Amino acid sequence: MKQVVTYSELRSRRRCAYRGHLEYDELLTPRRRKAGFREGTIADAGMNALYLHLRDTGGYDIDAMVNAMAAEKKREDERLRTAGLFDEEWQEIEDRWLLLLSLAVEYVAYARANDPFERIITCQLAGQVPVLTGEGRASTRYDFRFKLDGLVVIGGQLWLLENKWWKNWDRNNLKALQMDEQSGMYLWGFREAAQRHRLPRTIQGAVDTYGLPVGVYYNIVRKKLPVVPALNKDGTTTKRKDIDTTYDVFLSALEDRDQDPADYAEILDILREKGNTFYYREAIYRNETELADIGRRIYFATRYVADGFTFKSPAKECTWDCPFWSLCLEWSDELLEQHFDRKERKHEEYDEELEEAA
């Protein structure tokens, strides 16, 4: 039987073969003190529902998004019920949930005015293709598993859609999108699947109509609401230039307070100039050379598995980004027993089998 590899596994093995071995051969996972609230899963459920509804009806519907998020939140609550959370932790979860709901409402208004999609083909699509060997032959040992947030048409071309919910971003995060390896590998996988006619019929039909996808469309939402400007003691509105808000929110606060925008021309100009910093969108083309290189990288990474590499790659990041640090320093059965579990599945991020969502 062929072995399936995912981006997460390949990344782990390349970062440190020993870590990859512990995670994907030994199936070890650090035992969490407590289960955490998976707000990303809830946000993803909302996005999928919103865009599938748009595909099927042609309209944006906040209820479709919120209902899907509420159903997912219910599942989360059930999952966390046995986690022994304190009242303050439940309260924090409720606060984060309410923030997510508010973000969803804001997002739908933003998306309706700004989405460039001519068609939504699908949301959440998973697939599997053979890894290509150095000579370009289909590997008989390894398949690569990919999972897309969506497939959309922009400007008459097919694009992978990648939704992200980030706390914040800076120039470096955004610049790094150009080399985003995860989406690059998913794009490579999808194109291979299309060329091998391994996609569901409607998706294959979209490829026939629009051609292979040409890149990734990043749709990034900041997990923060624009600040409503404070009211000063003298009844005026603050003019702080570092206020984290948008032109529209500021103007609407002035209107609610019956204040003259002309008195706030400078701060309004600054906010207009800054644009909306709560959403970021960018379409990044990935050319054929780059994709061929990504395909080779997938193959080279599978050699770590094939050759059974388990060497350690210590680096200063080990102290903060490796959950196996203690075990790596000195293996002990006691430590293993107290702080680690064995996973039931190798690729838990793919534990939901996803087919064409429709």
Sole window of 15-23, 135-143, 201-209, 272-280 interacting with ligand SF4 (rule: CB under 6 A): 15-23
Q: Which of 121, 207, 298, 322 binds ligand SF4 (CB under 6 A)?
A: 322
Report the SS3 class of residue 284: strand
Q: How far apart are CA 54 and CA 111, in angstroms?
A: 11
Q: How far, in Å, CA of 47 to CA of 123, rounded?
A: 9
Count other C-beta atoms under 10 Å from residue 334's C-beta: 7
147 contacts: CB under 8 Å, gap ≥ 6: 124, 125, 126, 127, 186, 350, 354
Which CB sits closer to ligand SF4, 23 or 72? 23
The answer to whether 313 contacts ligand SF4 (rule: CB under 6 A) is yes
From the list 314, 332, 335, 338, which residue makes contact with ligand SF4 (rule: CB under 6 A)? Answer: 314
The correct pick among 56, 312, 332, 355 for binding ligand SF4 (CB under 6 A) is 312
Q: Which stretch binds ligand SF4 (CB under 6 A): 65-73, 189-197, 230-238, 323-331?
A: 323-331
Q: How far apart are CA 265 and CA 231, in angstroms?
A: 17
Stretch that binds ligand SF4, among 24-32, 55-63, 144-152, 321-329 (CB under 6 A): 321-329
The nearer residue to ligand SF4, 293 or 317, going by C-beta atoms, is 317
**Residue 281 interacts with ligand SF4 (CB under 6 A): yes or no:** no
Residue 130: closest CA among 294, 299, 244, 16: 299
CB of 128 to ligand SF4, least distance (A): 28
10 binding ligand SF4? (CB under 6 A): no
Residue 19 as a binder of ligand SF4 (CB under 6 A): the answer is yes
CB of 142 to ligand SF4, least distance (A): 23
Q: Candidates 227, 328, 354, 357: give the one binding ligand SF4 (CB under 6 A).
A: 328
Paired sense of beta strands 3-6 and 138-154, if any: parallel
Read off the tokens for 266.
């400078």
- Single residue of 5, 10, 16, 80 touching ligand SF4 by CB under 6 A: 16
Burial of residue 42 (CB within 10 Å: 0-12, 13-18, 19+) is buried
b/e code 183-212 from CB counts within 10 Å (16+ = b): bbbbbbbbbbbbeeeebeeebeebbeebee
In the complex with ligand SF4, the residue whose CB is nearer, 273 or 330, is 330
Q: Which residue ranges make up the site for ligand SF4 (CB under 6 A)? A: 16, 18-19, 312-314, 318, 322, 324-325, 328
